[in-house]
Amino acid sequence: MATWVILSRNNVGKAYVGGVTRFGPDVYIKKARILHAGLCEGSSDLIGIREVQITPDMVGKTIGAFVAIEVETKDGRTHQAQRNFIQTVGNHGGIVRIMRGPDDLGECAWIG
């Protein structure tokens, strides 16, 4: 049986939203409020779910496991909030990876 993974981009950040008024090249936001996007500070770049086959003592059911993949450049560093998120997901049975390039796909053969 093939293993599947569903991943989505998780953009984390803040932006102002509200009523937009344009004056030439300028944009003004009336009654501005902050929109918080993404799961939480430090959450991974790619998040999703992976199929997991449960052992026979659990009636052989298939369930999904949370997947968190942090994408960094070759020399990029994770900051403390990212390391905390990765550790928390891993400690609770999730699947976590830090990927720095295409060569890292070899250790994540279940992606693709």
**In a domain? residue 55:** yes
pLDDT in tens, 17-73: 999 999 999 999 999 999 999 999 999 999 999 888 778 887 877 778 899 999 999
- The model's pTM is 0.72
Q: Is residue 16 part of a domain?
A: no
Number of domains forming the structure of the chain:
1
Question: Of 37, 38, 45, whose CA–CA distance to 86 is shortest?
Answer: 45
Domain encompassing residue 86? 5-11+40-108
Q: What local confidence, expressed as pLDDT, does residue 110 receive?
A: 47
Is 29 inside a domain boundary?
no
User: Which pair of structure tokens corresponds to residue 53?
Assistant: 């086959």
Query: How does pLDDT run across 68-110, given as a tens digit for each residue?
Result: 999 999 898 999 999 999 999 999 989 898 888 877 765 554 4
Q: Does residue 66 lie in a domain region?
A: yes
Residue with tokens 């009654």: 31
97 within domain boundaries? yes
Mean pLDDT calculated for residue range 10-21: 94
Q: Two tokens at 72?
A: 């960094």
Residue 61 counted as domain residue? yes
